[in-house]
A = this chain, B = another copy of it.
Amino acid sequence: MNIHEYQAKEIFRTHGIPIPPGGVATTPAEAEALARRYASTVVVKAQVHAGGRGKAGGVKLAKTPEETRDIAAKILGMHIKGLTVHKVLVTPAADIATEAYVGIIVDRASKRAVFMVSPAGGIDIEEVAAKTPDKIMRLPVDPVYGLLPFQALQMGLFLYADIKQARAAAKIMQQLYAAFWASGASLAEINPLVTTPSGDVVALDAKMVIDDNELDRRPELALLRDETAEDPAEVRAREAGLTFIKLDGNVGCVVNGAGLAMATMDLVKYYGGEPANFLDIGGSSNPDKVVAALQIITSDPHVRAILFNIFGGITRTDDVANGIVTATKASPLRVPIVIRLTGTNEEVAVKILQEHGFSAMTEMDAAVQRAVELATAGARA
């Protein structure tokens, strides 16, 4: 789960990381009031779950409260990478001497949380990694010992020659690691970590991604989810217990299992079609999920054909069949549907479908080919 910069900053602050003040505004007037309170030049920053906000015009300096209002008016409602800006963060502009990067990610290879730090901050860290890899220090953290003081200082000294700044950065890294762990994060990032002309070390930006698997046991973090910042169909899918990602094609896919769902999309493409989405109904065979899945897919006007691909293991195919019958009774389909199912209770499922005028296929390739044909024909019509 992505959270906003202002939310990540709030978490970082509670762990002691030095961060300039800031307030969130949802209207230009609120932004103006905040600028008046800080009585200095401010930065207005779009709060959306997308990188490259600066390049997209979502981050601007404002010298006066009036200018803040005007800039906020421009940024609020702006679209960045397909997402609408509903909130801006207003924060006093800082004098910057140097910019560094500090991040933690969970690394599959070492099976650990790994720090990445670089004295070349403020820019895209992937770019630094590609062009000047020697400017990045990687430090895997032993999960049972946590970040040890000497390791934090090693990283602090990699960023700063001055021992006072190195110690200040080391302390911030300890705090960042504590915030990362306490929040069940899969990523925590400060970019840039800056030094001011007077020598202080301060975090100017904050980013954090929470592991979705942590939300059940951390309800206070689940509350941070901003559904206005997400695609509404994806929000609805999540509420129904589905994993859904909107894509650009016209073949709507309903599959059980993430691997099979990806393979189904690949096969749609293989046979000349374009998938309209990734949708995994998961292992459980609740007919309600199937109903929700059909509702989400049919609400996409680009969909020209619907493809079910179900390999029943834990999933009972008869449950899926019942879900299809229920959903189509409630709101009849306006696009053709192709159903492939095999596995647990297959005979029952086929009978249910046939009784309600559907036919079922057993081979994945044939079903995908058929769905692509129907979608192509539909698109031509």
Give residues in A with beta carbon < 8 Å to B.
Answer: 144-145
Contact = CB atoms under 8 A, between A and B. Distances in A.
Contacts of A145: 144
A96 to B, nearest CB: 36
Contacts of A144: 144-145
Nearest to A146: B144
A304 B145 CA distance: 54
A301 to B, nearest CB: 51
A100 to B, nearest CB: 30
Number of copies: 2
A145 B145 CA distance: 9
2 contacts: A144-B144, A144-B145
Nearest to A142: B144
A338 to B, nearest CB: 48
Nearest to A144: B144
A151 to B, nearest CB: 15
A145 B144 CA distance: 6
A188 to B, nearest CB: 22
A144 B143 CA distance: 9
Please provide the 2 A-B residue pairs with the shortest distance between their CB atoms, ordered closest to farther. Answer: A144-B144, A144-B145
A149 B144 CA distance: 16
A122 B350 CA distance: 68
A145 B142 CA distance: 12
A137 B145 CA distance: 28
A113 to B, nearest CB: 15
A138 B145 CA distance: 25
A144 B145 CA distance: 6
A354 to B, nearest CB: 50
A195 to B, nearest CB: 30
Nearest to A143: B144
A144 B148 CA distance: 13
A213 to B, nearest CB: 18
A171 B314 CA distance: 35
A164 to B, nearest CB: 22
A41 to B, nearest CB: 43
Nearest to A145: B144
A158 B172 CA distance: 44
A177 to B, nearest CB: 16
A145 B143 CA distance: 10
A144 B144 CA distance: 5
A236 B145 CA distance: 39
A335 B145 CA distance: 56
